[in-house]
Structure 1
Amino acid sequence: MASSGMPESEPEYLVLPTMNGSPLADDTVAVTLVPVTGAGGRDQLVALAFTSVSLLVEAMGEEQPWVVLPAGEVDEALLGSGAEAVLVDPRLAVGAD
């Protein structure tokens, strides 16, 4: 899985926004995937990840549920999720009126 926007020195942990606040019965969480237009105009699903809780809150608000994972385990945790890449510390666009 490709990573984009990764800081030069890889963080020890990443904070991923989730669809639910706590793990499901089988210890899985539903991470937030967003469509992003990639090379050649093709849309792909990417997982969002942040290098700190404060950056997640700044981008997505205080009510956003999240989970912290060791950075080295993120790709494995996303297997089967449909994510084709991980976007680290994205600057999210504010919806236009």
Structure 2
Amino acid sequence: MIVGSHPREGDLEINVCKEKKLTNMRSSTADVAKRLKATVTMSLEEALAYITDDELLEVTPHNLRLRKMELSALDRKRHRRDGSRARD
């Protein structure tokens, strides 16, 4: 599932369920202030304009969900690599 956006090109592979490891340089109270921002509610037209070529828009009666076509990061890399060879 797509959980955010950033200004640079390309995707960031993250696991939102995994907790950051604490080191002696960072205390547990420092990470409390870093929270995800509230969700952005998009209309159908806005969501269609937002997605890229490797993403899908799932439409249900109650929700609009953005997600990648290939769910596995390894499959996405393999697809990009094989796709570039097919064009050459």
Fold in common (TM above 0.5): no
Structure with the greater alpha carbon radius of gyration: 2
Structure in which a larger fraction of residues adopt strand:
1
Structure in which a larger fraction of residues adopt helix:
2
* TM-score normalised by length of structure 1: 0.24
Greater RCO, CA 8 A, separation 6+: 1
* TM-score normalised by length of structure 2: 0.26
